[in-house]
Amino acid sequence: MSRIVIALGGNALQSNPKDTSAESQLNTAKDTAKYIVDLVKEGHDIIIAHGNGPQVGQIVSTYETAHNIEKNNTIMPFPECGAMSQGYIGYHLQQAIKMELIKRGINKEVVTLITEVVVDEKDENFKNPSKPIGSFFTEDEAKKISSEKGYVFKEDANRGWRRVVPSPLPIKIIEENSIRTLMEAGHIVITVGGGGIPLLEKEDGTFKGVDAVIDKDFASEKLAEILEADKFLILTAVEKVYINYGKPEEKSLDKVKVKDMEEYIKQGHFAPGSMLPKVKAAIKFATSKEKRETIITSLDKVKEGLKGITGTTITL
């Protein structure tokens, strides 16, 4: 059996984007857990990573609203909001997976680890913050907050102005030894939630949190390399990756070599804020060592994807 790092997309956490309640998320997590435990039952070692976009946005917006109502309330720093989202989502996944394991008579522990990830302050992405977070503001409100806090705001599709933060690449996972220890003990580990809490390393060897968002697919790929995973599984909203998506000549990709996928990137087939980071992370893992493969597919096709029946498999 294989050691598999699974990167869960947003639809595995919130199936109904209009219902962002905790109850809805927990119910979705229960459905997600069934597919994960299917793999555990087959004997695979499973490590789980996940996104946190909607959840961390809710947390930020809640603090922003509280700050506007009561001026004495401070806006919570973004790294702390990321940590809250890791705990919140991890709790739901941990509870749901444990319940499913008990139902099937499988004796395994499930552990959520609050995870920090080092980034490089010289990363080019710090020069161009692009990830929107939190509430919408008017232009005047955005200018006022920017002057007070130094935040960067950008207009978001004519819906208002939102704060944006950088999206640097991950360099090192601080808790990698703890993750490995838990995994080798046979536990299911939920980690690098939301890409991990971004940290900058100081000259004295200590760290400080930074306002940024690490793409969960890149953080998951880094984790897969560190843990010497056999397969890297990216679960998203579609069963396969497509070229010419949404056009008459649309074509799904089944088994693809890295060199062909790189050519598709050059041709502009993948959207920057959607499939492109997944494909780039897939390529990075597939080229990290011989016989490694990345599979991109949907949650409900996970078993078929691992068997090569469906999904898009990227290999060297």
Residue of 222, 231, 278, 280 marked catalytic: 278
Residue of 34, 108, 131, 172 marked catalytic: 131
Unique residue bearing structure tokens 């299911």: 188
Per-residue model confidence as pLDDT tens digits over 269-298: 999 888 999 999 999 999 999 889 999 999
The reply to whether 257 belongs to the active site is no
Rounded CA separation 196/117 (Å): 5
The reply to whether 131 belongs to the active site is yes
The reply to whether 259 belongs to the active site is no
Residue of 9, 10, 51, 57 marked catalytic: 10
Unique residue bearing structure tokens 């720093």: 77
Residue of 216, 222, 240, 301 marked catalytic: 216
93: Cβ–Cβ under 8 A, 6 or more apart, which residues? 8, 13, 29, 32, 33, 48, 50, 110, 112, 190
The reply to whether 216 belongs to the active site is yes
Q: In this model, does residue 70 exceed pLDDT 90?
A: no
Structure pTM? 0.93
Per-residue model confidence as pLDDT tens digits over 240-271: 999 999 899 999 999 999 999 999 999 999 99
Rounded CA separation 314/316 (Å): 7
